[in-house]
Amino acid sequence: MTVKIAIVGFGFMGQTHAGTLLQLPDTEITGVIDLKSPAEQLNSIRGNNDTVTLSPEAAEKLPWYRSWEEFVDKAGAPDAAIVALPTKFHCSAVVKALESNCHVMVEKPFATTIPEAEKMIAAAREHNKLLAVGYVVRCMAEYLHLAEALQSGRLGKTHFLEMRRFAGIPGWGSWLDPETVRHSGGTLFDLLSHDLDFVTHTLGEPESITPCRRGRKEFKGDWLSLELKYPDFDVLIESAFIPPVSYPFHRSFQAFFEGGSIYSGQWNKSFECRGKEIKEVRLEEISPYFAEVANFIKSVKLGKIEGICSGEEALVTTRHCDRIRHQLGED
């Protein structure tokens, strides 16, 4: 079965996913929907990670449409769609694609309000289609290794877990529009929710979540800490968008167990320390963005979600973020 698929939004993430789709067998991109042409967008948008593998020649050949309606009218509805638009457009674009009977993968954050998240889930149920969300950390080899250690107990009891994610304020594509930034959900939804999703997916619901904003007025960063309490240990998650644009993206985690610790500060690298020994863990060398989209296509073929976050799971994270926003008095 060849899966016909459309990419809605051809910025940093849309281009990243197009590169994967072109490498997958039995997958055909039948439309790219964006206000500007794929060639122009490939030339002008540079994200904060080196994840785009698409060549200018390949971008030139992609069938381009300015709207979903024009695309469906001219090319017919595909089997699936990847929605990589600014977050404020996720709900309307996802619902449109589901109403055209397409399976959908939408970028994270799923939504910044609960009614929007619930509307997308209801549309997927009504049309009996899959709805997946791009919480790509779930496909990162070093985080999969951490999840295995946390769940298996092979290093003994968990004592403490700390996760960090920092980035310069995005300075490409739609992010140059203040309205896009205003509706992005800031650090909480756009950055920290990656780790929050990972932690609650791996460890289940915490007993409590206590948020704390960091930095005084003079510090223009959007820095947020969360303390998650589990019965026997705590988890600290810290994230910030920090000016200027050039501030480099970096993320790390460290986990402390009764019998050792695990540390990762780089893509695809993880170290286990036990007693006097530190050992680099052998990880599968596969791009998590590739793995994520490959899992989505596999899910479409199987007719059930596997290896990727579902809409229902992303709703849990949306609810957590919404509650945290209330706790911080930032409704």
Please write down the long-range contacts of 185-188, taking CB distance under 8 Å and 24 or more positions apart. Answer: 185/87, 185/109, 185/112, 185/321, 186/222, 186/241, 187/222, 187/223, 187/224, 187/239, 187/240, 187/241, 188/224, 188/239, 188/321, 188/324, 188/325
The answer to whether the Cα torsion of 10, 12, 14, 15 is positive or negative is positive
Kindly tell me which of 16 and 158 has the beta carbon lying closer to ligand NAD: 16
d(CA 178, CA 169): 12
Minimum distance of ligand NAD from residue 12's CB (angstroms): 4
State which of residues 84, 192, 228, 262 lies at the interface with ligand NAD (CB under 6 A). Answer: 84
Using the structure block, give the residue that is written with the tokens 């050039």.
246
Distance of CA 320 to the CA centre of its chain: 16
Note whether 87 binds ligand NAD by CB under 6 A. yes
Of 24-32, 158-166, 169-177, 243-251: span binding ligand NAD (CB under 6 A): 169-177
Give counts: helices (H), strands (E), the chain: 12, 15
Note whether 175 binds ligand NAD by CB under 6 A. yes
d(CA 158, CA 258): 6
Kindly tell me which of 108 and 129 has the beta carbon lying closer to ligand NAD: 108
Of 195, 19, 51, 193, the C-alpha closest to 108 is 193
Kindly tell me which of 122 and 176 has the beta carbon lying closer to ligand NAD: 176
Kindly tell me which of 186 and 211 has the beta carbon lying closer to ligand NAD: 186
Note whether 174 binds ligand NAD by CB under 6 A. yes
Amino acid at 185: G
| Contacts of ligand NAD in 2-31 (CB under 6 A) | 9-14
Note whether 33 binds ligand NAD by CB under 6 A. yes
DSSP H/E element including 103: strand 103-107
State which of residues 31, 78, 86, 211 lies at the interface with ligand NAD (CB under 6 A). Answer: 86
| Contacts of ligand NAD in 134-153 (CB under 6 A) | 134, 136
Note whether 41 binds ligand NAD by CB under 6 A. yes
Q: CB-based contacts of 150: which residues, under 8 Å, 6+ apart? A: 158, 161, 202, 203, 255
* Contacts with ligand NAD, 90-109, as mask; x by CB under 6 A: -----------------xx-
Note whether 34 binds ligand NAD by CB under 6 A. yes
Of 19-27, 168-176, 228-236, 301-309: span binding ligand NAD (CB under 6 A): 168-176
d(CA 7, CA 85): 9
Note whether 36 binds ligand NAD by CB under 6 A. yes
Point out the residue whose Cβ comes nearest to ligand NAD: 11
Kindly tell me which of 32 and 228 has the beta carbon lying closer to ligand NAD: 32
Of 84-92, 116-124, 158-166, 244-252: span binding ligand NAD (CB under 6 A): 84-92
49 φψ region: left (φ > 0), alpha (ψ -120 to 50), beta (else): beta
83, 93 contact by CB (below 8 A): yes
Would you tell me which residues interact with ligand NAD (CB under 6 A)? 9-14, 33-36, 41, 45, 47, 84-87, 89, 107-108, 134, 136, 172-175, 190
